[in-house]
Amino acid sequence: MEYIVVVKCGGSTVDELSPSFFESICKMKENGKHPVIVHGGGPAINGMLQALQIETEFVDGRRKTTPKVLETVEMVLSGKVNKQIVAQIQSVNEKAIGLSGVDAKLLTATAIERETLGLVGKIKAVNVSFLRELLEMGYIPVIAPIALDERGEKLNINADEAAGAIASALQAEELVFVTDVDGVLVDGQLQETLSVSEIDTYIEDGTIYGGMIPKVNAARESLTGDIKKVTIANGNGKNTDENGALIGTTIMKEEFIAQEDA
């Protein structure tokens, strides 16, 4: 399998993704890359839980997931949000297939801490052969982060962590976090490439602050296995290169930056 790009769409950006963004995904494919999309859906989940009057709480940044909460999470992610993205990809004449981690045991997980978090899991295995078959058939997989444990019980998975695990298992070349910002700005200028050490420095001196901190930390933590670079990019589709790649801030380990500069 050639160049695989895992694209994680945050829940807060799903409704804001532009037609240009989906055209850029298709352009990636036309240029020999294989996109795989993983999505969240936090705002839509919150809205549905509120409408259904189901109480929810967060523990250390994770949604405590009771059986009732999980039922709603799955309904929103696998139903509304997943099919919304699939439809938009197909509207620009590309083949997409919507999945959750439950389908074909795509994602297998174990519960993190049932007493405090309930039905929240950490991915242990990815059905790589199934995903590769879909890619070889020309499909763009769109994945909702719901998994199964060894007993067949469903678990809620953090979308960032799901994207990282899928990218690592597929030996993807690149992972892209799609957000509502262009990337990391320093003195008003977009930084196209940053090393892990530069991220640490910018966090310490306050250049990177607020909501960008968890984004760059998630990117840093995803630099494992064959993943050489993680990009934080805007979902408006305006910042792309001639090959359809999303342009934002690319975070790389120092040794890979040195190799590219050599």
Instruction: Determine whether the annotation assigns residue 63 to a binding site.
Output: yes
Query: For helices 67-74 and 42-51, what crossing angle results, to 10°?
Result: 120
Radius of gyration of the chain (CA): 18
Q: Residue 176 class from Cβ within 10 Å (0-12 exposed, 13-18 middle, 19+ buried)?
A: buried
List 59's β-bridge partners, or say none: 62
Helices (H), the chain: 19-30, 42-51, 67-74, 82-90, 114-117, 128-136, 159-169, 196-204, 212-221, 254-261
List 9's β-bridge partners, or say none: 39, 178
Picking from 102, 57, 52, 51, the residue whose alpha carbon sits closest to that of residue 77 is 102
For residues 86 and 130, is the Cβ–Cβ distance under 8 A?
Answer: no
Instruction: Determine whether the annotation assigns residue 156 to a binding site.
Output: yes
Q: For 134, how many CA atoms within 13 A lie in the half-sphere containing its CB?
A: 23
Q: Which residues of 92-129 are buried (b: 16+ CB within 10 A; e: fewer)?
A: bebebebbbbbbeebbbbebbeeeebbbbbbbeebbee
Residue ranges of the annotated binding site are 41-42, 63, 156
Residue ranges of the annotated binding site for substrate are 41-42, 63, 156
